[in-house]
Amino acid sequence: MSAHADACHFELRNMRAEDLPQVAALDQISFADPWPQGSFEYELKTNNYSLCLVAEDPDAAEGETIVGALVIWLIVDEAHIATIAVHPNYRHRGIGRRLLVEGLLQAAGRGAVKSLLEVRSGNLDALHLYFGFGYKVVGLRPNYYQAEAEDALLLDLDPLDLEFLRNIKLTFSS
């Protein structure tokens, strides 16, 4: 991954089939129990009730342009955060936040009024991200992540506050 990540500008867009190898590679370095490429392919091509977004650094070397990815499952009126990852070289620059804002706004446009997710209880980066949106801890799933022998916290954001999300989005373009 390029060393100029500090100066990068990035773009959000819908995931495309040609992104899949990079998205799977990103998942691989981000999780102990990554999704195989076929799972992303299913979400993108087959599941009509998922939203798949990527963050792209257009200035990165070819084959290294996908720096973030998000999949949301639309379950009745709920936006379930299925997976979100930002490349380690690009973290703490607001990319995860932008992906989540965009994903939640798109989910709201398709009928979601609340959001739910599971997160490793020790995943402080992710917890900071989610608490910044107002997610609250509503449950615990013991030993949910068997690869890491770690509990999951169940977080929900109910209701989705569209004005809050749009205001965050506005700060990105200012």
Ligand X SMILES: CC(C)(COP(=O)(O)OP(=O)(O)OC[C@H]1O[C@@H](n2cnc3c(N)ncnc32)[C@H](O)[C@@H]1OP(=O)(O)O)[C@@H](O)C(=O)NCCC(=O)NCCS
What is the set of active-site residues? 118, 130
Among 37, 56, 89, 91, binds ligand X (CB under 6 A): 91
Name the H helices within the chain.
20-30, 37-45, 95-109, 124-133, 162-173
CA distance linking residue 100 with residue 48, whole number of Å: 19
Cβ partners under 8 Å of residue 108, min gap 6: 79, 160, 162, 165
Contact 21, 28 (CB under 8 A): no
92 binds ligand X (CB under 6 A): yes
Count of residues engaged in binding ligand X, rule: CB under 6 A: 20
Give the contact letters, 13-42, x = binds to ligand X (CB under 6 A), - = no: -----------------xx-----------
Among 44, 51, 60, 85, binds ligand X (CB under 6 A): 85
93 binds ligand X (CB under 6 A): yes
97 binds ligand X (CB under 6 A): yes
CA distance linking residue 160 with residue 33, whole number of Å: 29
Strands 114-120 and 136-145, bridge-based pairing: unpaired
121 binds ligand X (CB under 6 A): no
Stretch that binds ligand X, among 9-17, 57-65, 89-97, 141-149 (CB under 6 A): 89-97
170: nearest Cα among 115, 105, 125: 105
11 binds ligand X (CB under 6 A): no
101 binds ligand X (CB under 6 A): no
CA distance linking residue 146 with residue 158, whole number of Å: 28
Residues at the interface with ligand X (CB under 6 A): 30-31, 84-86, 91-97, 119, 123-126, 128-129, 132
